[in-house]
Amino acid sequence: MKLTKEQQQEIKDLQSQDNKTKRVVAPQLESILFEAIPILDHGFVRVIDYMGDDTSIVQAARVSYGKGTKKVSTDSGLIKYLMRHWHSTPFEMCEIKYHIKLPIFIARQWIRHRTANVNEYSARYSILDKEFYLPSQENLAAQSKNNRQGRGEVLTGDQAEEVLNLLKSDAERTYDNYETMLNERYDGTVINEKKSGLARELARMNLTLNTYTQWYWKTDLLNLMNFLRLRADSHAQYEIRAYADVMLDTLKKWVPITFEAFMDYRVGGTEVSSKGKRVLKDLISGKNINIDSSGLSKREWNELMNAFDLDKKIVK
């Protein structure tokens, strides 16, 4: 991750502030506020601002005054109840804003979560940094044979080296052409005083998708958890999961009681259909039940067996 001297100084200045407030604060989150947490090779996540904490959720649920109840155990019980029964609006009362630097292809996947306020770095107005995401070799893998949007076996040796060289050379070549079309280097220097550069809004279309962009991403706690439930999952693409894992840690620092309930009921828990519930009841009672008599599809059956570690009944 590369930060300019100006960015480093800005972070120091922001972190050195000593503002007094009557609003609730999350001490652990305050300790990393504005800090650029490195992700991948050039990316980062920064918490810029937030509103509310665990007590804000309790207060909203009870529509009460002040900070709600005095007992943490009581607050914890209520938050767990809200999470367990899918009560959503109290969690919407808390908000958080991130500054994120990420490859364009991950940004395009990320933006599918249409539940946030987003303001992205403008390549119509400014020149994008000369930085590209290049995967480490352990993250280079072939297309999965049984998952159309996943990875299979890791590439090794000459094949991996060839792919990395192609990614690097293509990114560098297209960026050089980008500068040529602009008639301007990314540091602002003009290449040829006698030439007019192509408009930035046109020149940018030549760049590769591993070029880095940046944005401010603001969302409420409910939709942050919905995002993390999908993107911090082991089945998510590695690159977006790297960001989600760091954001999961900021969630823990921000609302630790909600984090615990989220990990228990959303991440560690599982949903069971009415048919699946009936299958589990039959298995517990000792009945001889199989996929044919269950009424479940092969995928549903295997997901149910996996969720409860009933591997001996997995259907190949």
Give the neighbor-by-neighbor strand order of the sheet with 37-39.
Answer: 37-39, 43-51, 95-103, 212-220, 117-120
**Looking up tokens 């996947």, which residue turns up?**
109
Between the two ends of the chain, the Cα-to-Cα distance in Å is 44
Kindly name the residue from 231, 241, 278, 299 that is annotated as catalytic. 231
**Looking up tokens 């994008």, which residue turns up?**
128
* Secondary structure (DSSP) of 231-262: HSSTTS-HHHHHHHHHHHHHHHHH-HHHHHHH
Closest-CA residue to 269 (of 212, 316, 225, 215): 225
Plot region of 86 (φ>0 → left; ψ -120 to 50 → alpha; else → beta): left
Closest-CA residue to 130 (of 70, 42, 193, 218): 42
What 8-state DSSP symbol labels residue 206? G
Structure tokens at 155: 């590439």
Closest-CA residue to 97 (of 149, 131, 52): 52
278 noted as active-site residue: no
Q: Cα(198)–Cα(206) distance, rounded to whole angstroms? A: 12
Cβ atoms of residues 94 and 51 within 8 Å: yes
Cβ atoms of residues 127 and 135 within 8 Å: no
The catalytic residues are: 231
